[in-house]
A and B are shown apart, each in its own frame.
Chain A
Amino acid sequence: MDWWVLLLIQIAVIIAAPFAVAVLLGIDRIVTARMQNRVGPPVWQTLYDFFKLVGKKPMLLNRPQVIFAMLYLTFSVFAFVLFVFGLDLIIIFFASAAGSVFLVVGAFSVRSPYSHMGANRELLQITAYEPVLLLALLTIGIQGGSFVVTDLYKAGDLILTLPLVFVALIVVLVIKTQKSPYDVATAHQEIVSGPYVEYSGPYLAMTKLGHWFELALIFGIFTLFFNSDNLLVSALVKLLLIAVALLVAQIVDNATARLTKERMIKFTASFGIIAIVANYTVIYILQSAGVI
């Protein structure tokens, strides 16, 4: 297809992504509510929340707080844009990691006890999930034969060869979507809102948007696990993968209480890394033996 058609499609995806993630999160809230025997909010609720925040009168503590929130937003968007344009996974990872750190520094830059505690916990969360995410991306790249996303789309059936990596990425998804048992940073009952506590109105909307783009990236990485030439089958299976991942995260969320940050690190470090290493070893052995 022509380059400008592809560009239009890519821009459309980038603009539609936060809306899609918001709707997904809305569905998430409805499913949680139904699990808890409630009715739940309408599907568009997250979007209503977002626009309400945009319409509030701005209130801030100091300027660096806003600067870092903006940096978090732009780097999350940039990482997602790089992903949609099909560039190198490792650079995408670095951009996303930089964004997360900017959020933390923004939370540190206000003199607020809850904010600092939240920022420290957020740092620990990052320490917990980043190695797993990086190793997962590397395994995907090694198995798929290239680190460039456009090449990985031709790889095809990574879900069959890398199932444990998929499971490890679900653990990362649990932490990223701030779900129990690892919603350590934004532990509502303990530290109110963690790193987001001093953000309000439009600035909180900025951080929310950044968070949606982060989630869009993770969901995008889930879509790498399957591809087929038939566009309809491809789209359906990709959606199915995202739905399964989110559903598992949901069930875990509703079934567990919050755990301590030490357990978070221990669990993700041991389970996440061991799962990926085990997967890679099995594949390596099978490939050298010529089975696959």
Chain B
Amino acid sequence: MTLIEKSRVKSPWVLHFDTGSCNGCDIEILACLTPKYDVERFGILNKGNPKHADVLLVTGPVSKRAKERLKRLYEQMPSPKMVIACGTCACTGGVFHNCYNIEQGVDKVIPVDVYVPGCAAKPEAIIDGVIEALTKLQKLQEESHRKKEVK
């Protein structure tokens, strides 16, 4: 693994976006940043700016208004990027599934890499989800290496 690829796994900067959530999952995400769970030891920093972020943590069922904003934020993130849907609302619409005012989950709007279920998702689960995303990134990088070697 090259230095840059290792650094991508070692330093995921997070952008958190709430698309209409009840704030339950948002509070849990915030709890991850506190000393009790301390995600900074994985190099995770909460950046408010999509241009600086690698990982997009989305909570909430995507309301119609939030759909455009979510898309724009996703586009403003430079690749390589990962999207994690936190909480059941983000995964499938959750409690609000089939309501008229929401898109039924984040993957209807942008491509999602990891789904973290739960209502609200536990901080341990969220951290697990981020690690899952990083593992996926690592696997994707190794695959692209193998493809280059085959060629």
A–B direct touch in complex (beta carbons closer than 8 A): yes
| Interface residue ranges, A against B (CB under 8 Å) | 29, 33, 36-42, 45, 47-52, 54-59, 188-189, 192-193, 196-201, 204
Query: Given contacts A55-B8, A192-B49, A200-B51, are A33 and B78 in contact (CB under 8 A)?
Result: no
Question: Interface readout for B1-18 with A: 1 if CB under 8 Å, 0 if not?
Answer: 001111110110100000
Query: Given contacts A48-B43, A51-B3, A193-B47, are A37 and B11 in contact (CB under 8 A)?
Result: no
Query: Given contacts A48-B6, A52-B4, are A201 and B78 in contact (CB under 8 A)?
Result: yes
17 contacting pairs across A/B (C-beta < 8 A): A33-B41, A39-B38, A39-B41, A41-B41, A41-B43, A45-B11, A48-B7, A48-B11, A52-B4, A52-B11, A55-B8, A56-B79, A59-B51, A197-B49, A198-B51, A204-B51, A204-B52
Q: Which residues of A contact B10 (CB under 8 A)?
A: 45, 48, 52
Interchain CB contact under 8 A, A188 and B78 = no
Query: How many of chain B's residues have a CB under 8 angstroms from any CB in A?
Result: 25
User: Any chain A CB within 8 A of the CB of B48?
Assistant: yes
Interchain CB contact under 8 A, A52 and B54 = yes
Main secondary structure of the interface of A (DSSP, over half): loop
- B102 CB to nearest chain A CB (Å): 27
Contact of B38 among A33, A48, A50, A54 (CB under 8 A): A33
Q: Which residues of A contact B107 (CB under 8 A)?
A: none
CA A73 to CA B38, docked complex, whole Å: 33
Q: Which residues of B contact A199 (CB under 8 A)?
A: 51
CA A285 to CA B74, docked complex, whole Å: 64
Contact of B35 among A38, A52, A188 (CB under 8 A): A38
Interchain CB contact under 8 A, A55 and B4 = yes
CA A52 to CA B10, docked complex, whole Å: 8
- A258 CB to nearest chain B CB (Å): 15
CA A246 to CA B76, docked complex, whole Å: 35
Interchain CB contact under 8 A, B78 and A52 = no
Interchain CB contact under 8 A, B40 and A38 = yes
